[in-house]
Structure 1
Amino acid sequence: MPPHDLSNSNTIEDPGDISNRLDFNEPATAEEWEVCRELTGETPEIRSAALEDLRHMINTRMELPNRTEETFLIKFLRVRDFSAEKAYRLMVRYYKFKELNPAFHKDVYPLRLTYIGDDDVCSVPPYTDQDGHRIIIYRLGNWKPRKYSVIELFRATVVILELATLEPKTQIKGGICIFDMSGISLSHVYHITPAMASQIVELMGASFPIKIHAIHIVLQSFLFDMIYTFFKAILDAKTREKIYIHGQNMSSLHTHIDPRYLPVKYGGVRKEYSYNDWIEILRRDETVICSLIKLGYKIDPEDDLDNKWKSMAELLQKSS
């Protein structure tokens, strides 16, 4: 049986909030712009001025790759509430993280990471929570360290984050993480080192253009305390405040995430979705493929099963 049984009769779906495609729509209505202003401080005037300031910093300080297109810069500005200086510093950390961790993104073929989905280690539901946050679910107990390394998990995570930050709604509203720690063994603890903990904190916190509003730990055993020890020493107070440890108490989780937006396993009503559903987003969307190529990912034209990428032949050839 595949890891996700979508025929579970106890689950429900609202067709209106399910989409396996990324949403590239910018705020359009007065209500959407008001939400954007409240969450990020963005107005058309502030946006224009901040983009100009950020481009000037990039062009004069000469520290960063010369990527100045609006769709790329805006995600850094939104996550830093349209402070061009803070957005610039985030870009520096973003590229520094890539430089220090080339194995996470260099020569990576994202369409070939389906084995992560086969083992149900991480997934991104095709819906958001009640506040519009993207949700990432990790089931680390399903990870088989002898089968593939922790680097592979980082690669999958970086791809997820890069995709999520292409969405204006996610740039504005951010995301949340659920770490399901059931099934964690001493083998997993052995592979989760202090160095790995530091990389996770860097990736989820200071070095990526996304707001992580909460990290929820569920179904953990005593072994979780051993893992969490690595993190406590490097987490700042602001980050620690975002971590909620629920154990077996799903009612506690529900005080943060409405059960209508959770899988059945966590007391919700939703079906399960695989990481491979997220991979299919890549395969079927030219905009996504083009964005990933610009970020340095490798795309093999032979992976174009539906023959959708003809217009990107030159970019694809350069990336292969």
Structure 2
Amino acid sequence: MTEWQTKIKDYLGEGTYECTLDDKVLKKAVKELNEDPKQRALQIEALREWVKRQPHLNSRTDDTFLLRFLRHAKFSQLKAQKTLDNFWTVRTVEGKGAPEWFKSMDPKDPKNEEILDLGMQIPLPGRDDQGRKVILVRSGGYDPYKHDFGAMMKTSFMMNDILLMDEENQVHGFVLLQDFTDFGLAHATNWNREIIGKAMKCWQDMYPTRNKGSNFYNTPTIFNALMEVFKLFMKEKSKKRMKFHWSSIESLHKEVPKRILPDYMGGEAGSLEELKKNWKAEVMANREELLLNGKYGVDESKRPNEDASLGGMQGSFRKLAVD
């Protein structure tokens, strides 16, 4: 073991990563994400050293947390640093994100538990034919006169925090299935340009998720205007990955296997109530992860100027290249 490797092992709770991917998924990570198992620990350490040099950034530095940003960035240190900085900035800085959506992310909070019972966002069991995790979003699955919209967003990001703990999700990515069956005018009024901009920033710029596509099912006419606003904030790659199934269950089944769909969508994965119950149990089981993420953030008063920050990023990258 080299001196550098010994240094990594000496970190408390750091430098202890053990890969859980099977050979097939690891090969995909190598091919698509530029992951090099022999260099992985050094890549993680380089990102960790950069984090510790940032005066404004109070971040987790454990291997499993940092690795998800490296995989999302295809092991580009610069991109991983930017996304990680955005991750904590959006969660904690007024005027630069949506900190109101990330406060009190305790699933045992009665308000959060009530939204979890609604099953607004449910990761479907299993994976699609490409190994991706499909997330069912029931856009009209709440009473807009009764339930706070911010709480809906909060449980969505609680879901992201938990799903990113799974290494296969980091490699294969995610697909959204947005069901608008019960979506009406009252729901649409919750969405304006500001809200949509914040939501897209969270989905595209802060979370280290590989977003592989979106399926829209049973979209009403009223949604067309909202979609045009969404497109203003969407990256071109995301626009090309949208598929509309209108009310055609047959079209949906061509994109999402019946084996992972709930009964009401002509699937074989069980009832919606069963899926709601199972997902809530998983969220509760991962409560500590959600509470842990609430302890970190950004202090904008300590953020270095842009030139200094870029210098720090480049320094880490060059150091890694030498190794």
Tell me whether the two structures share a fold, i.e. TM-score over 0.5: yes
Q: How does 1:1-320 map to 2 (within 5 A)?
A: 26-99=19-92, 100-112=97-109, 113-271=112-270, 272=272, 273-284=274-285, 288-296=286-294
1:194–1:230 contact (8 Å) kept in structure 2: yes
Query: CA–CA distance in 2 between the matches of 1:283 and 1:138?
Result: 19
Aligned residue for 2:264, secondary structure, equals helix
Aligned residue for 1:204, secondary structure, equals helix
Structure 1 residues 187 and 136: CA distance shift in structure 2, 3 A: same
Match for 1:151: what amino acid? G
Query: CA–CA distance in 1 between the matches of 2:276 and 2:263?
Result: 17
Query: What is the Cα deviation at residue 43 of structure 1?
Result: 2.1
Query: What is the Cα deviation at residue 291 of structure 1?
Result: 2.2
Structure 1 residues 35 and 142: CA distance shift in structure 2, 3 A: same
Moved more, 260-269 or 197-206: 260-269
Write out the 4+ residue segments of structure 1 that deviate beyond 6 Å after TM superposition: none
Query: CA–CA distance in 2 between the matches of 1:25 and 1:212?
Result: 25
Structure 1 residues 96 and 269: CA distance shift in structure 2, 3 A: same
> What's the CA shift string for 1:20-51, capped at 9, x where partnerless?
xxxx9833543332122123221212312321
Structure 1 residues 180 and 30: CA distance shift in structure 2, 3 A: closer
Structure 1 residues 274 and 152: CA distance shift in structure 2, 3 A: farther
Query: CA–CA distance in 2 between the matches of 1:31 and 1:141?
Result: 38
Query: What is the Cα deviation at residue 264 of structure 1?
Result: 3.1
Aligned residue for 2:35, secondary structure, equals coil
2:106–2:290 contact (8 Å) kept in structure 1: no
> What is the aligned-residue identity percentage?
20
1:46–1:82 contact (8 Å) kept in structure 2: no
Aligned residue for 2:20, secondary structure, equals coil
1:51–1:84 contact (8 Å) kept in structure 2: no
> What's the CA shift string for 1:74-109, capped at 9, x where partnerless?
111111111111111000111111023222122232
Query: What is the Cα deviation at residue 275 of structure 1?
Result: 3.6
1:216–1:245 contact (8 Å) kept in structure 2: yes
> What's the CA shift string for 1:177-199, capped at 9, x where partnerless?
11111122111111111111112
> What's the CA shift string for 1:234-253, capped at 9, x where partnerless?
22211211211110122322
The size of the alignment, in residue pairs, is: 271
Q: Please give the TM-score of this superposition, normalised by the length of structure 2.
A: 0.77
Query: CA–CA distance in 1 between the matches of 2:176 and 2:242?
Result: 10
Moved more, 272-281 or 241-250: 272-281
Structure 1 residues 217 and 197: CA distance shift in structure 2, 3 A: same
Structure 1 residues 224 and 63: CA distance shift in structure 2, 3 A: same
Query: CA–CA distance in 2 between the matches of 1:183 and 1:40?
Result: 38
Query: CA–CA distance in 2 between the matches of 1:219 and 1:170?
Result: 27
Alignment gaps of 5+ in structure 2: 1-16, 296-323
Alignment gaps of 5+ in structure 1: 1-23, 298-320
2:120–2:142 contact (8 Å) kept in structure 1: yes
2:73–2:80 contact (8 Å) kept in structure 1: yes
Aligned residue for 2:83, secondary structure, equals helix
Q: Please give the TM-score of this superposition, normalised by the length of structure 1.
A: 0.78
Match for 1:145: what amino acid? P
Aligned residue for 2:134, secondary structure, equals strand
Aligned residue for 1:141, secondary structure, equals coil
